[in-house]
Structure 1
């Protein structure tokens, strides 16, 4: 019932010790998550005393108010500095103030049109992933079910409060870019990643990864394109820092830093809260997230490797640096994480077959000649 070629599954022909090691790691991660109390205890949502605006609370209210002031003709940086001070948000270092792109989009289009725009992006990502998983050579016939997991984890695009959170828009753009990425034709994905980077600077590791792939492939045109994006981003970031520095003072509060070090349990909790798993108990995330990562590890392809490295890289960032209030950083990667579940059954079957195979007998040593 599949069109799968045997070479797609990285775990189809592994040795017995490798299979045992991978399955043991999976069991350990699942048990660790299930025993660690994954859930909202590791996530800090806005308190009743946080900033309020037009039915929104906390960061949602902060960014909505800034966008409203920009729509009224005020400078983004003047508005951002004033709202950060009013809500007791830090203004130093510069990364505490978001890039102005999303605020200008909302100010120019209005809330409804902006929401419609990003719903179109999300819909395009779902369709693009369905087509990619349906037409990709060698993978199982049931793989297009992964597009449903994309749809299920882009539902925030339809909620007004998430319109103002930069990770939601950037995550939808990243999901679309990954579905469209092909090493021989990287240009459309390059443009979309540049757009995501303009909204949230934490997309920069993805651009760097694809730039590295271009160098490995010796595709100098693509490498030059990624370099151009990097230079434009550096210039825009420098302008952001310079303009922001003109409206802040030494008396403005500084961030408490990003050293959450919540580890594996915090990562699972952030993913659960930022995905469809928020409607389920924490142990569900403890089981499904390792399976999704295993599925991505199984797909032997450039795209499979790229998404696996992106997922693991952001997982490490969330485990090491994200504070409980930064849980929504996970929305950069949750739209694509659970596509890996479509590959997990074949990965587990391959590992189980490898585990059942008899151990290779050790050859007897050949006696030395007298």
Structure 2
């Protein structure tokens, strides 16, 4: 960490900021940390979903629902007929169409079997950890100590080793997002593009990531890349239309409708979701209340296209979780928790520069310490 604090300032966005801006940033950081530390993070903000149907093979709630669907698809049944039957049996809503997951993950698990599907997820997770290590080790200006960020990725992919999580779509999509971010380079976006396309096919809530990268391509006037991201969007629209049509064929107006997604839990709910969906689940709530704002500050400090992309994704999904996620939707945070805490490796340098600006010190040109 000390090495990062003395690194060359080129990568650090907070070098030389004015005293009022430094005071505002540090004030907001202190406010968010104090707000979380003095609140009941986790309590009443997270709830494991239950259903009226019996447990399935040691699994409960959403885990059991998606496991039953995958097993029946493996036996040759239609995904949509099966999904409708299982949703009704467990008193899960079937309306609107977003209440029923896309069929991609169920078909993957059905085709490969649970053990092979879990092995593939573990391999993708290992690839994401390795890719982040290489990326943080080789990025210009960043000190070698930044590579420890890969450990934070590894620590927050531990759910891949638990059987029940292979059925949760956000877990698979989250590890794919982590890998795509590590591989993303504006001049060579094709690997990240293919991985994001796979993630979108599993969970439609990944679409904002594709839209962000598409926006970057437009800003860069990279028309080939923009066309590729547009193709992903059009493919998603076609797939979603097919999903809506197939679901309409097996549902009726009498089927249960969702209560909606208007949790409006705010900052404390967001912290609770992150805690429940990351390694922080083993710690008291106040730990996450301190670390999550620091991680976001660290991401804000990294002056690079990748840093901007990661920060935008973290803040965008944080807003979605704060506004829409209900207590039972806490695992939505698994889309972003694998990469959130990489920001901690940049936080010490960010704090150091903000403190210097607050004291009115001019930032010297410091050589990189490696």
TM-score normalised by length of structure 2? 0.95
Q: Which residue of 1 aligns with 2:314?
A: 311
Q: CA deviation at 1:45?
A: 1.2
1:324 aligns with 2:338: no
Rg comparison, structure with higher value: 1
Larger deviation, residues 9-18 vs 307-316 = 9-18
Q: Is the 8 A contact 1:51 1:62 kept in 2?
A: no
Q: CA deviation at 1:52?
A: 1.2
Q: Distance in 2 between matches of 1:194 and 1:292?
A: 27
Q: Distance in 2 between matches of 1:106 and 1:199?
A: 12
Q: Distance in 1 between matches of 2:166 and 2:250?
A: 26
1:64 aligns with 2:96: no
Q: Is the 8 A contact 1:51 1:58 kept in 2?
A: no
Q: Distance in 2 between matches of 1:113 and 1:149?
A: 25
Matches within 5 A, 1:253-272: 253-272=256-275
Q: CA deviation at 1:356?
A: 1.1
1:330 to 1:122, Cα distance in 2 relative to 1, 3 A: same
Q: Which residue of 2 aligns with 1:280?
A: 283
Q: Distance in 2 between matches of 1:300 and 1:36?
A: 32
Q: Which residue of 2 aligns with 1:236?
A: 239
Q: CA deviation at 1:4?
A: 3.5
Q: CA deviation at 1:256?
A: 0.2
Q: Is the 8 A contact 2:94 2:256 kept in 1?
A: yes
Matches within 5 A, 1:1-370: 1=3, 4-47=7-50, 51-357=54-360
> Helix, strand or coil: the match of 1:253?
coil
Q: Is the 8 A contact 2:52 2:90 kept in 1?
A: no
Q: CA deviation at 1:311?
A: 0.3
Q: Is the 8 A contact 2:93 2:258 kept in 1?
A: yes
Q: Is the 8 A contact 2:99 2:258 kept in 1?
A: yes
> Helix, strand or coil: the match of 2:303?
coil
1:322 to 1:51, Cα distance in 2 relative to 1, 3 A: farther
Q: Is the 8 A contact 1:40 1:273 kept in 2?
A: no
Q: Distance in 1 between matches of 2:163 and 2:47?
A: 20
Q: Distance in 2 between matches of 1:47 and 1:224?
A: 43
Q: Distance in 1 between matches of 2:58 and 2:52?
A: 13
Q: Distance in 1 between matches of 2:112 and 2:51?
A: 30
Structure 2: runs of 5 or more not aligned: 363-370
> Helix, strand or coil: the match of 1:215?
helix
Q: Distance in 2 between matches of 1:14 and 1:142?
A: 24
Q: Is the 8 A contact 2:177 2:335 kept in 1?
A: yes
Q: Distance in 2 between matches of 1:74 and 1:24?
A: 57
Q: Distance in 2 between matches of 1:274 and 1:49?
A: 25
Structure 1: runs of 5 or more not aligned: 360-370
Q: Distance in 1 between matches of 2:285 and 2:146?
A: 26
Q: Is the 8 A contact 2:321 2:333 kept in 1?
A: yes
Q: CA deviation at 1:294?
A: 0.1
Q: Is the 8 A contact 1:50 1:57 kept in 2?
A: no
Q: Which residue of 2 aligns with 1:367?
A: none
